[in-house]
Amino acid sequence: MLGETSAPCASSEVLLHVEKISHEFAGLQALSNVSMRARRGEIIGLIGPNGSGKTTLFNLITGVYAARHGRIFFEGHDITGMPGHHIASAGIMRTFQNPRIFASLGLVEHLVIPMWAVSRPVSFIDLVRQMSMPWRSLAPAAEKILQSITALTSVDEIPASALSYGRRRLLELARCLASSPRLLLLDEPTAGLNPNEACEVHALLERLAASLGLAMIVIDHNVDFIERLCSRLVVLVNGCIIRDGPGEEVLRDPRVVAAYYGER
Amino acid sequence: MLLLVQSLNLAWKVRLFSLGHHGFFGLGAYAAAITTRLTMSDPGSWNLEEPLNRLAGLTLLAVCVLAGATLAACLARLLSSLFSRIRGDYFVVATLVFAEMVRSVAANWDYVGGGLGFEVPYLIFTKAGGERLIYGTFYAVLLLSLNLVVFVAIRRIGRSVYGLYIGAIADDPVAAELSGVDVIRLQSLMFVLAAAVAGGAGALFLHFTTLIAPSDFSFLNGLPIVLGVVLGGMRSARCVIAATCIYTFYEVIKLRFFGIFGPEYGELIADWKEALLGIFLILIVILPALMRQGWVRKLAREQKGSVANAW
């Protein structure tokens, strides 16, 4: 019920293509010449020490920051420098390191927003048209997704601010899935979760990838989790990609070990 | 009552804390003044006592309101594209500057009376003699019904998907944008709608008082609009309306109440009106914080109690 499964696409297998992206903050080089590709249905782990530019890369892909150097292509279209809502509509959704939910809204409402926003641009005419249509009429589909992801229902009618930290993460994930995206960027999905919850998230993500053919890029520090989930790992250190390849190989690479644990 | 409409809409603005709403109000009033002057040849020949033909008057009133709303909306559209890169406090200052510009342009433009103000004839009824009551009732009914229309419209928006968008922007604009909501465009749309209502209200204001002056649209006269919104707690339409009514009531009875102690007290209060407004604002900001502290303490005590009971 989570939208259509990956539609057959005539274009190449490459879903996301990041080409020589650089970004700096007031003289600090956060990313330099980063290039990477993500194929349809692929789950990529993005790892690296704190401050290596992982989240910055997410912010550039999703349009939070405007990329000034380099280009980003999604499904063959150039999305460099587009505003965030365009990129979201194109099919890239993300979660945040600290869950960013709409505290005063209810649970289903979180899902109705992207469901509608990605397909209908904001305009005065649309506003007038929507005025005769309460959003509740759109709720059933959102409710199904909500339940399948978070096992929560709107029957409780609680505001999102009343959720626990782990549930907020799930709600955020459900919000991302409501618009049936093709690429999911997950920023530390297991941070702040206990091992049990991390296991649940792992199972959930695998289920989603299998059933929807969803591609994911996952940032996480939980190496065990990353290794089991991802078929490919990309290692960022000081804004440069130092390794890109299959999981076990990358983790055994002495350069990666050195970046994480220091030189022996 | 007019303020009500505007404050309602001010509350609407999604994270656009404009202090220049009275600018659009003034703009609407002056747009109406220009429209009136254009339709009725020479102001020298105006008979200020005699109302027009009723049908013509009503039409002119409607045209004026439309003109006021349109001009305010157009300017708001222009401003929102200019201001879209300004955030936070700077936006507040920019809107304030805009309102001040409207006022000073009006004050220096002789076509609309300059600093002396602009007087229009009564349109439909006169205030003179027996018609005074009808005059008051007509405008009261007109304003009430317009308020009702705006209220219902806002309610319907609030219940539609747009209400969710607006709530999302108020909670977290970045997350809203990345969920696919065109935040800047929605903000601009709300800004324009709010300005249009304020402009229409301004046009009505002109024909209700029949005399406007640039000083009517000064910052101090715009402050009660902001007050209504702040007092009403920013987002709930019903609370904002209640707050505005209470405030208007306070304004009305203030002078009479203090007049009881003798006319000199009434004058004293009139002189200190602005200072009182300031104190009022400060109290509004501080009181809830104090009350919340009290509440928290009380709540904490209760919870301790319940834990003890559970054991």
Q: Which of A187, A180, A208 has its CA nearest to residue A53?
A: A187
* B152/A contact by beta carbon, under 8 A: no
ipTM score: 0.83
d(CA B214, CA B112): 10
Question: B224 vs A50, A194, B119, CA distance in Å?
Answer: 50, 51, 24
A123–B189: do the CB atoms touch at under 8 Å? yes
A34 has which bridge partners? Answer: A21
pLDDT band of A72, cuts 50, 70, 90: very high
Task: Please state, rounded to an integer, the average pLDDT across all residues of chain B.
Answer: 71
Q: Which residue is closest to B191 within chain A, CA to CA?
A: A124
Measured between CB atoms, which of B157, B161, B183 is closest to A116?
A: B161
Burial of B56 (0-12, 13-18, 19+ CB in 10 A): middle
Tens of pLDDT, residues A140-166: 888 888 877 777 665 556 788 888 888
- Contact between B67 and B196 under an 8 Å Cβ cutoff? The reply is no
| Residue B156 structure tokens | 């319907």
**DSSP-based three-state secondary structure for A209:** helix
d(CA B252, CA B248): 6
**What pLDDT sits at residue B199?**
85
Q: Which residue is closest to B182 within chain A, CA to CA?
A: A85
**DSSP-based three-state secondary structure for A218:** strand
pTM of the model: 0.79
d(CA B243, CA B225): 10
Q: Does residue B14 register a pLDDT over 50? A: no
Mark which residues 66-85 of A lie under 8 Å from B by CB: 83-85
Please give the average per-residue pLDDT across A192-199, as a whole number.
86
For the ranges A44-53, B92-101, B301-310, the maximum mean pLDDT occurs at A44-53
Percent of chain B with pLDDT over 70: 56
Mark which residues 108-127 of A lie under 8 Å from B by CB: 109, 112-114, 116-118, 121-124, 127
Task: Between B229 and A102, name the one with better pLDDT.
Answer: A102
**DSSP-based three-state secondary structure for A264:** coil
Q: Does residue A209 register a pLDDT over 50? A: yes
**What pLDDT sits at residue B1?**
46
Please give the average per-residue pLDDT across B286-309, as a whole number.
53
Mark which residues 145-164 of A lie under 8 Å from B by CB: none
d(CA B198, CA B26): 8
For the ranges A210-219, B156-165, B254-263, B297-306, the maximum mean pLDDT occurs at A210-219
| Residue B254 structure tokens | 């203030």
Task: Return the CA Rg of chain A.
Answer: 19
* A90/B contact by beta carbon, under 8 A: no
Q: What's the helix, strand, coil split of chain A in %, to 5?
A: 40, 25, 35
A113–B163: do the CB atoms touch at under 8 Å? no
Measured between CB atoms, which of B161, B168, B183 is closest to A102?
A: B168
Residue-wise burial string across A198-220, b where 16 or more C-beta atoms lie within 10 A, e elsewhere? bebbbebbeebbeebebbbbbbb
Q: Does residue B136 register a pLDDT over 60? A: yes
